[in-house]
Structure 1
Amino acid sequence: MLDFTSALYLGLVHASRTLEPWEQLTLGAPAVLEEPACVARTERDLAELVGCERALLARSTLHVFWDVFSALEGRRVSLFWDDGAYPVAKWGIEVMAARGVPARGFHHHSPESLARRLRSSGQGRRPVVVCDGWCPGCGELAPLDAYLRVVRAHGGLLIVDDTQAVGVLGRRQRGMAQGVGGGGSLRWHGLEGPDLVWCGSLAKALGVPMAAVAGDARWMARIEARGETRVHCSPPSVADLHAARRALLINRREGDVLRRALALRVAHFREQLRRAGLSSTGGLFPVQRMRIPLGVDSRRVHERLRRGGVRTVLQRSRCGPDVSVSFIVTTRHDTPELTHAVELLAEALHDEQHERTRHERVA
């Protein structure tokens, strides 16, 4: 079975034998009381990677967003979110809305829509804007530089969920399609400042099931002091922390080599699609969302592929009503596998269209 469902883009897995040993999986105390000794070093390295002054670690992005919004409580703010934002960020917004904070969405990847929302929101509240760095639905980067200009014009704060891009994108450099360093969207756009908060899971490109928030040192101090999950939940386990240390070390030593290999594999996949008369969204990002011909049921194509030995993601777009088939390409796929997958996709589409035509003739 060819598997195109894993988001371990760089192919990083962290077997127990590859990690530093530990005597104790957890300290049995919340982060506010005590954290493992390796936390501080990992936070420093991660902050440097994504281009922020300071970072704090958490078990998941759910914990991160709960704490980010907890830190806003007591301040006069209004929340605004990109309509295509990942649901976990929206859950945090919903909690704040239930506590009486005004919250409104704006059109996906539209700085103009955001500007209109901020102009009509009234005075006296600081706008806090939430978006993803890269959208797997439409396969496009968010216009973060344009969002930040709008936010700064209103004295606001921009919060970026960079789960998809960290470890894949980095500082732009000629000859490197995805940039260098793997620091994510802020590095790609060259953005920094006290009005930016970076959030993200490390569970995709870096292969570590934990998350972090990073930004201005003053904001991090406020989150550290007021974050509710830091009081009521356990911090990341020592095993997760050791895996994070290993992932950051691999990224520093050979991350750009892995990203170059990933870009070549994605390019090969897209070229095979082109030769078959097919196409996808996503550019050179590893999530390739197929453009399914009009009238063809994506669910049936997904099932035909499964029966043919190919696992794909049946993906509903957060920034549109349609459902499509997505292939997630990683460094663990070789070119013959990618070529074969496209051949099976073309065959599945042909069979589906043929069957649809036959049914129409009978009807």
Structure 2
Amino acid sequence: MIDFTSALYLGLHHPSRLLQPWQQLTLGMPAALAEPPGAAEVAQKLARLQGCERGVLMPSTLHLFWDLFGMLCRQPVTLYLDEGTYAIARWGMARLSARGVAIHPFRHHDANALLTKITRQARNRKYPVVVANGFCPACGTAAPIGDYLDIVRRFDGLLVLDDTQALGVLGEAPALRRPYGLGGGGILRWSGHTGPDILVGSSLAKGLGVPVAVLTGSDRLLRRFTVASDTRVHSSPPSLAVIQAAIHALAVNRLQGNLLRLRLAQRVGQFRRGLAGIGWSSTGGWFPVQTLCGITEKVAIRLHQRLAQWGVQTVLTRSRHNRAARLSFLLTARHRAEEIDQCIDMLDALAPEIEAPTNIEAPKGRPVLACQPRG
């Protein structure tokens, strides 16, 4: 069985034998009364990794965004939503929508569309909050963070990013031989942007392999968040087991992360070259989520079924705008070179019994991980 369905991009596993022992899973009290041992230290290390002043651990991004937008609705705000934003942040925003807060969607990664929307609403004198994914695996491109920040700062607003996809994968100083950069600090490190007007919510469950979330940003905003948080009062905090796994993840990232990212880039490059060799292509650039392009929904479903029969597990996905099913392969640093070759050979063997790919071209938009991002 060759599995291309796991989003553990660096292949990090955290078996209990490698973790520090714990005597209990929870203190039996909310984080508002007492942080679990190690939670504050892990949050601060994650904040430094991402280039922020302070962090706070949360059980999940759902808890995180529910509390974040609850905090923001305590003042007059207007939300501007990149249409490609992931569902979890949208669910948190629904809390504001239920209270009558205006939410203005704008075209995915279109800074001009955002500027037009904010300019039209500027006279209402409400605090503008722009919400987007740091990196979008659906289109394989990073958000134009510099452009978004220029607009946000022009109107004294706030940029909120979901950086779940990039944390642990992207980092600072990307180059041709190391397209993911160094350190794994996420989209802010990769893009070279920082500032007190940015908040970053991220799950560690993908790049770092730990089911816990962290909110990072300025010390001022994080202090406001911890005071305003509802789930830190009414929900259990991250368990001590999860916190120990996060400690282990950060240690592995520090010692081996760059090597794992290099190995991941090699597998992605091998996959893309293999596709090109049989006349196929994929979206995603160097990112480990590779989606076949130039095939119909019918072909995507057929390939998914036939590959499963041959022992290759893939993912059927749908984009927000085009609801047709697409076939995606999630690559990790644990995939072996021979597994990639076997997958390409199977696709080549299946080609005669399905429609050939059509209209194959490079995806539109800024390519990701091709060169040093703009500062």
Please report how far the alpha carbon of residue 296 of structure 1 lies from its aligned counterpart in structure 2 after TM superposition.
4.5
Displacement, 1:37? 2.1
| Aligned partner (choices 238, 241, 254) of residue 239 of structure 1 | 241
Structure 2 partner of 1:116:
116
Question: What is the SS of the residue equivalent to 2:124?
Answer: coil
**Aligned partners of 2:237 and 2:56: how far apart in 1?**
10
2:264 is matched with 262
Structure 2 residue corresponding to 1:213, chosen from 212, 215, 222: 215
Is the 2:10–2:264 Cα contact (8 Å) retained in structure 1? Answer: yes
| Partner Cα separation in structure 2 for residue 146 and residue 69 of structure 1 | 23
Q: Deviations over 1:236-279 (max 9, x none)?
A: 00000000000001111111111011101110111101101110
1:150 is matched by which residue type in structure 2? I
Alpha-carbon distance change, 319 to 186 in structure 1, aligned in 2, over 3 angstroms: farther
Question: Cα deviation per residue 1:62-101 (whole Å; 9 max; x = unaligned)?
Answer: 0110111111122111011110100000011111110111
- The answer for the alignment partner of 1:192 in structure 2 is 194
TM-score normalised by L of structure 1: 0.95
In 2, Cα distance between equivalents of 1:329 and 1:149: 34
1:176-187 correspondence to structure 2 within 5 Å: 176-187=178-189
Residue 337 of structure 2 corresponds to which residue in structure 1?
Answer: 335
Q: Which whole-Å CA distance do the structure 1 matches of 2:171 and 2:324 have between them?
A: 30
Q: Deviations over 1:255-310 (max 9, x none)?
A: 11110111011101111011011100111111001114347431122111111211
In the TM superposition, residue 224 of structure 1 has moved relative to its aligned partner by: 0.2
CA RMSD of aligned residues (A): 1.3
For residue 301 of structure 1, the aligned residue among 303, 311, 315 is: 303
What's the counterpart of residue 39 of structure 2?
39
Three-state SS of the structure 2 residue aligned to 1:234 is coil
In the superposition, relative to structure 1, how do residues 206 and 295 fare at CA in structure 2: closer, same or farther (>3 Å)? closer
1:85 touches 1:318 (CA, 8 Å); kept in 2? no
How many angstroms does 1:21 deviate by? 0.2
Q: Is the 8 A contact 1:83 1:319 kept in 2?
A: no
3-state secondary structure, aligned to 2:173 = strand
Residue 206 of structure 2: aligned partner: 204
**C-alpha separation in 2, matches of 1:153 and 1:318:** 29
Unpaired runs of 5+ residues, structure 1, are: 355-363
What is the number of residues matched between the two proteins?
A: 354
Whether contact under 8 Å (2:174, 2:190) holds in the other structure is: no
Give the distance between the partners of 2:204 and 2:351, measured in 1 at CA. Answer: 35
Q: Tell me how far apart the structure 2 counterparts of residues 217 and 320 of structure 1 sit (CA, whole Å).
A: 40
Which 5+ residue runs of structure 2 have no aligned equivalent?
357-375
Change (3 A) 1:340 1:44: same
Matched to 1:263, the amino acid is: A
CA distance in 2, matches of 1:55, 1:250: 20
2:192 aligned partner, one-letter code: G
Residues 1-363 of structure 1 aligned to structure 2 (within 5 Å) = 1-121=1-121, 122-174=123-175, 175-294=177-296, 296-353=298-355
In the TM superposition, what is the alpha-carbon distance from 1:319 to its structure 2 partner?
A: 4.7
Moved more, 237-246 or 298-307: 298-307
Q: Partner of 2:161: helix, strand, or coil?
A: strand
Is contact 2:36–2:238 with CA below 8 Å preserved after alignment?
no
SS in 1 for 2:105: strand
Which runs of 4 or more aligned residues in structure 1 lie more than 4 Å from their structure 2 counterparts after TM superposition? none
- Counterpart CA distance in 2 for 1:210 and 1:257 is 24
1:289 is paired with a residue of what secondary structure?
A: strand
Q: Which residue in the other structure is 2:366 paired with? A: none
- Whichever residue aligns with residue 160 of structure 1, its letter is L
Residue 39 of structure 1 deviates from its aligned partner by 1.2
Provide the C-alpha distance between the structure 1 equivalents of 2:45 and 2:31, rounded to a whole number of angstroms. Answer: 19
* More displaced 10-residue stretch of structure 1: 116-125 or 74-83: 116-125
Kept in 1: contact 2:37–2:240 (CA 8 A): no
Provide, for residues 137-170 of structure 1, a one-character-per-residue CA deviation record: whole Å limited to 9, x for no partner: 1111111111111111111100000000000000
Structure 1 position 322, deviation (Å): 3.1
Residue 36 of structure 1 and its aligned partner are, at CA, apart by 1.6
TM-score (norm 2): 0.92
- Measured against aligned partners, the alpha-carbon deviations of 1:79-137 in whole angstroms (never above 9, x if no partner) come to 11110100000011111110111111100010011111101123310110110011111
Q: CA deviation at 1:345?
A: 2.1
User: In structure 2, do the counterparts of structure 1 residues 178 and 326 end up closer, same or farther at CA, with 3 Å as the change threshold?
Assistant: same
- For the residues of structure 1 that align with 2:133 and 2:351, how far apart are their CA atoms? 32
Shift of 1:23: 0.3
DSSP 3-state at the match of 1:343: helix
Deviation at 1:318, TM superposition (A): 2.6
Between stretches 321-330 and 216-225, larger displacement belongs to: 321-330
